Structure 1
């Protein structure tokens, strides 16, 4: 059964990305110009210490499709996604990073796959534009996650994803859980597809994550996800008189 898309909410966590935001906005509006459905751009400022919030306010003042949330302090990417999911007004949610390594031009093709009847479409960065060390660390981490969580996802770390909004809003979000959204969506009964996407080198700003701090936190989070899989309650109501 095919999906109807009425409105898309693009959710983008922002932390000290003042140099990238205008280019990001321009690329998104250009990439989505051919869509027939409505969309909103929900920017979540995660307590930036640079001028990111000022740039976001200017974008929102010039385009009513741009909405924003600003945290009082830095809370992390999972918190930013959780807030975005909560305030999203669309029936379809699209997530991506603000550093321009995700390519907004990939979004229409991912939406086409979603429209065919799946609940989630994951970006797969087949040719990552990162250092050799970072690429190998990511591959190893992905292998470990898949082994322990019994998954087959090729790129769990890619932020470019398309999801059914009402389904992702049911997921309990904790710190680090954004890395396991495919697994958590499957617990909700989601049908998941993967699409090969472009990945670009960072040209402005600096990476906010180190290899080892991410590795340790991911290992800790993975145990929580495995526990959730084993303890998940799933049921199907066959009959009821509740209205």
Structure 2
């Protein structure tokens, strides 16, 4: 079957969440406004996540997976997914399901007019420290990139795949997806989505890498912006 939309699900030691992930995504596929498939990217998990992923893929035709040899981080998992998919649209959602896949239908309403549509988490169900560090990190990023986005950390995005595939690989890219689309002269927008408490597992980012990491990545982005080459092919014999 040919799918129009592929949802990437990065996974790192999420064995307690995967049963719920299967249930929620299987339910979403049935109500998705476009034909949708799921791609797990296992970022070198050391728990039982891979065995669970393989079982899920065996009983669900629309589910596939990639397994990393070793842990390489969220940005690598997302980029690998971009490189792997061949659908017209690609998106991603975190396996902690603090956002709901149902809200992809809200984002899909806008994707025809934009190259990237990202969620903005309303009424966030996180701790004060996590919310405040996220707010500070977003402010730092906006000052460097001028992307106008309020919540690039929201794990609910849809991108036109040909734009996603042209994003260069670098650590921290998941924080700069709108900015990287804008470098390609792509259009970006943000839409309010729901947010829920984490039901199982543990967060993979703490205060230190929520603040210092984004700051260091901003300097990497500025260097990349200066060196970035954008082109369009006007004609080809193939």
Which TM-score tier does this pair reach, normalised by the shorter chain? Answer: over 0.9
Query: Could you tell me how far apart the structure 2 residues matched to 1:58 and 1:6 are?
Result: 21
Query: Could you tell me how far apart the structure 2 residues matched to 1:164 and 1:149 are?
Result: 21
- Determine the structure 2 residue equivalent to 1:58: 55
Shift of 1:36: 5.4
Unpaired segments ≥5 residues, structure 1:
none
Query: Could you tell me how far apart the structure 1 residues matched to 2:34 and 2:103 are?
Result: 17
- Determine the structure 2 residue equivalent to 1:72: 69
Shift of 1:241: 6.4
- Determine the structure 2 residue equivalent to 1:226: 222
**After superposition, where does 1:1-243 map in structure 2 within 5 Å?**
7-35=4-32, 37-115=34-112, 117-234=113-230, 242-243=236-237
Q: 8 Å contact 2:136–2:211 — kept in the other structure?
A: no
Query: Could you tell me how far apart the structure 2 residues matched to 1:129 and 1:241 are?
Result: 50
TM-score (norm 1): 0.92
What's the RMSD between the two structures over aligned residues? 1.7
The SS at the match of 1:32 is helix
Shift of 1:242: 4.8
Unpaired segments ≥5 residues, structure 2:
none
Structure 1 residues 229 and 22, CA, compared in 2 at 3 Å: closer, same or farther? Answer: same
Count residues with an aligned counterpart. Answer: 236
The Cα offsets for residues 119-153 of structure 1, whole Å up to 9 and x where unpaired, read as: 11000012111101111111111111101112210
Q: 8 Å contact 1:31–1:108 — kept in the other structure?
A: no
Structure 1 residues 139 and 241, CA, compared in 2 at 3 Å: closer, same or farther? Answer: closer
The Cα offsets for residues 173-214 of structure 1, whole Å up to 9 and x where unpaired, read as: 111111100000111121111110011111111111111123
